[in-house]
Amino acid sequence: MDKKEQDQLKKEAATKAAMMVEPNSVLGVGTGSTVAFFIDALGERKEKEGFSLKHIVTTSNRSKKQLESLGFKVDELSDIDQADLTVDGADRVDDDLNGIKGGGGALTLEKNVAINSKKIIWIVDESKLVHRLGDFPLPVEVLPISCEQNFRKFEQEGLKPQWRMDENGKRYVTHYGNYIIDLAVDPLPVIHGLADYLDHTVGVVEHGLFLDMCDEVIIAHSDGTIEDKT
């Protein structure tokens, strides 16, 4: 699939999700190129229907800027109790609706917004679907103070760590001033065990395994169909 076709599919999934947002609800908005189409579609609803929301929280400055440019007011997560719905993209989604997220580096805020949402919808094109999670490096956000030890430990565990780098060849720095180590082991070992191991590793701030969280995935297929998987 070329980029143009993939972008078209992302747009279709995103547009469908935008039509599912209830007016005057509290909405969580994720990060990434698919979400950028979702925000555009929300903007169109605002323009055409005078559609408005009670609160919007988002997971990155990129999404925040785009929402604000369309006239939406964006609140902080701490300003709300919970979102009625969060719509986000994903890097990989397995048969049980578990996912890898964080390709855009926003995993910590994405997971915090997600777990504080009554409902989570992911919007993807069909290239993101896998039977078993893998086929994409798993992002792990780590504190700078112990990141070298974390890296060596992941190496010893056979998890094939790689530093996430930025466009200037320096270590990528997250919104919270941390680094990202991408684990390139493929396929991933038993995912619940791996998540548990990462959850209990000192120095790990968050990781990109989003397990047992997603309620619904909207998948745009290249045959023109849009699947709603729950």
Among 28, 32, 134, 203, binds ligand 5RP (CB under 6 A): 32
Q: Does 102 bind ligand 5RP (CB under 6 A)?
A: yes
Min dist CB 53 to ligand 5RP, Å, is 20
Q: Does 12 bind ligand 5RP (CB under 6 A)?
A: no
Min dist CB 70 to ligand 5RP, Å, is 18
In the block, residue with structure tokens 């719509």: 87
Q: Is 34 annotated as a binding residue?
A: yes
Q: Which of 28, 193, 207, 190 is nearest to 102 (CA)?
A: 207
Among 28, 30, 137, 161, binds ligand 5RP (CB under 6 A): 30
By beta-carbon proximity to ligand 5RP, the closer residue of 153 and 205 is: 205
Q: Does 89 bind ligand 5RP (CB under 6 A)?
A: yes
Q: Does 178 bind ligand 5RP (CB under 6 A)?
A: no
Q: Is 230 annotated as a binding residue?
A: no
- Residue tagged active-site, from 5, 12, 76, 110: 110
Query: Near ligand 5RP by CB under 6 A, which window of 32-40, 68-76, 159-167, 177-185?
Result: 32-40
> What is the SS3 string spanning the chain?
CCHHHHHHHHHHHHHHHHHCCCCCCEEEECCCHHHHHHHHHHHHHHHHHCCCCCEEEECCHHHHHHHHHCCCCCECHHHCCCECEEEECCCEECCCCCEECCCCCCHHHHHHHHHCECCEEEEEEHHHECCCCCCCCEEEEECHHHHHHHHHHHHHCCCCEEECECCCCCECECCCCCEEEEECCCCCCCHHHHHHHHHCCCCEEEECEECCCCCEEEEECCCCCEEEEC
Q: Is 229 annotated as a binding residue?
A: no
- 110 as an active site residue: the answer is yes
Q: Is 193 annotated as a binding residue?
A: no
By beta-carbon proximity to ligand 5RP, the closer residue of 26 and 114 is: 114
Give strand pairing partners of 87. 29, 121
Catalytic residues: 110
- Residue set of the binding site for substrate: 31-34, 88-91, 101-104, 128
Where on the chain is the footprint of ligand 5RP (CB under 6 A)?
30-34, 88-91, 101-107, 110
